[in-house]
Every structure is written in structure tokens, then in C-alpha cells.
Amino acid sequence: MGRSLFDSSDAARAIFEQADGILGYAVSTVCFEGPEDRLQETHHAQPALFVTSIACLEAARERDVLSESPPAFVAGHSLGEYTALHAAGALTFEDGLRLVQERGRLMQEAADQQAGTMAALLGLEEDAVEAVCKETGTEVCNLNAPGQIVIGGAESAVEAAMALALERGARRSLRLKVGGAFHTSFMQPAVEGMERAVAETPFADASPPVVANTTAKPLTDAAALREELVRQLAEPVQWQRSITYLAAQGVDSVVEFGPGRVLTGLVRRIDRSLSTRNISGTADLEPA
């Protein structure tokens, strides 16, 4: 991921090269060549995704393909919240990348201590999923869109929840290729280390506001942003509510930066009145 941007954009290439120097290993090679099993390792995946997302943003700025009007809000899903904070001026690229590297390390350690997994349940509403979780000992991880909710927990518990969800009318239950039960209590061992990391990292107030994962409410204060990055480790991502909030504030268009088009698809499912655009490679850099 990101190779076309590296080859065609000076701004994107500078991001990858800077990241290699900051991390002390060639994250660019991991992004471009994998292998896939290395990219799926939490401590490698998170820096790779952050760097590629920022490269997409900087390439778009370089080509001047974005709206002349500044964004009213920024938001990011899980790890994407770090990209949003950088876009809002709350974190420098270097500080954001170092935090992401530490987040990946801490989450990997937590996953190694207590093995877990995640699954997407399709076709059930939130209250039905919560009932399934209560009966199986699983937890809600991501409230992504109507009828698309991700749960997590111990592997046996998730398997039981998937089966029960199908009995309760779910259209589909799908195991995810992840390294742990992220955004659940399984990540609690990472919280203390993350608190230290964010306390030691310079933050500025955000402008525009960042719509927080855990509350779907706007944040600008640096202290509140620090708290949010700690909380989101072990609490569900409120993505559907975040997009609903944006629409209620009069937002009419959304641009996704980063590899893939998952969030663009979720936005369309949440509110079809919103105009969407995705920038994940060179082909997306033509003026709108």
C-alpha cells in the first residue's frame, strides 16, 4: 500500500522517508512489499497504516485537489483518530508516529497476555448485539453502521456469539483477521503505558474539532484529546454516531484518506445524503 503515492508525489515520498528515519526500520518496505503476515502484526500494522494515511493527505495537499474551504471537523476510526489529530494540528507527524508505534507495541503486549479475536455481526441492531454479548461474555468493539457491529473477546466466546447471532437473525457473522480483541477490556493492560506515552507527548489544541471515537462528540482541548487516546484503547468506536453527528451539524461531504475504502462505504450506509470521496492512491488525486 502507498507505492503509487511514493512514486508520484514528492510530498508522500518525504513522509515515507521521514517515517523510516523516525522508526529506525524501513516501514516503507513493509507498506510496499509486506509480507502480509508482517503487515497483520499489530506493532507493524499500526505505523504502516498511519504513515500511508498521512502520505495520502500530504499528496492531496500537494496536488491542491481538496476543497478551498477548510474542513469543519475531522474524525478517524480507531487508529485513524491519530491521522485526524495530525490533520487538525494537534500532533506533529513525528510525535504522532511515535505514539502510534508505542500504541501498537502496547496493544500487541496486551494481546499476547490475553489472546482474543473479533467478529463482524451483520444484520442485527445494537440492542440485539448487546444481548448476544451479555449471554456469551463478549463485548462490543465497533458500532460501524446500521446492521454492522463488531464484537470481541476470547476466541471461544466470539465463536459462540457468532453462532447465537445467526440464531437471532443476523444475516452473516464474519471472523476478522486481527491480532487481538481491540477496543475491549482485553486491552486494559495497555492503558497505563498509553497514559504515560500521551502525557510525555506535546499536544496542541485541535482546529478543526476532532469528533471523538468514544463519545461521538467534538474535542478541541489538548488535555481532552490526550484522555480520548487513552480511553479509545478499551472502549467501543462510535463510528455510526460520529457520522450522524457530523450530518446533524450541516456537514454535506466527507473525504477519506488512507488505504482502502472501508470508511467511505460505512458513511454511505449511515447517511446517503453525504457526498463521499476517497484518496488512497495516485489515481484519486485528480481534481474533484
Omega before residue 47 within 30° of 0, cis: no
Closest CA to 219 of 238, 233, 206: 206
Q: Which of 183, 273, 275, 280 is catalytic?
A: 183
Closest CA to 236 of 130, 137, 105, 165: 130
Q: Which residues contact 225 (CB under 8 A, 6 or more apart)?
A: 85, 90, 203, 206, 210, 219
Other Cβ atoms less than 10 A from the Cβ of 72: the count is 13
Active site residue 53: no
> Looking at the chain, which runs of residues are DSSP E strands?
74-75, 117-122, 139-145, 148-153, 172-175, 210-211, 218-219, 253-257, 275-279
Active site residue 273: no
CA 88 to chain centre: 16
- Give the number of residues written for the chain: 288
Q: Which amino acid is at 80?
A: G
Q: Which of 4, 8, 78, 185 is catalytic?
A: 78
Which residues are part of the catalytic machinery? 78, 183
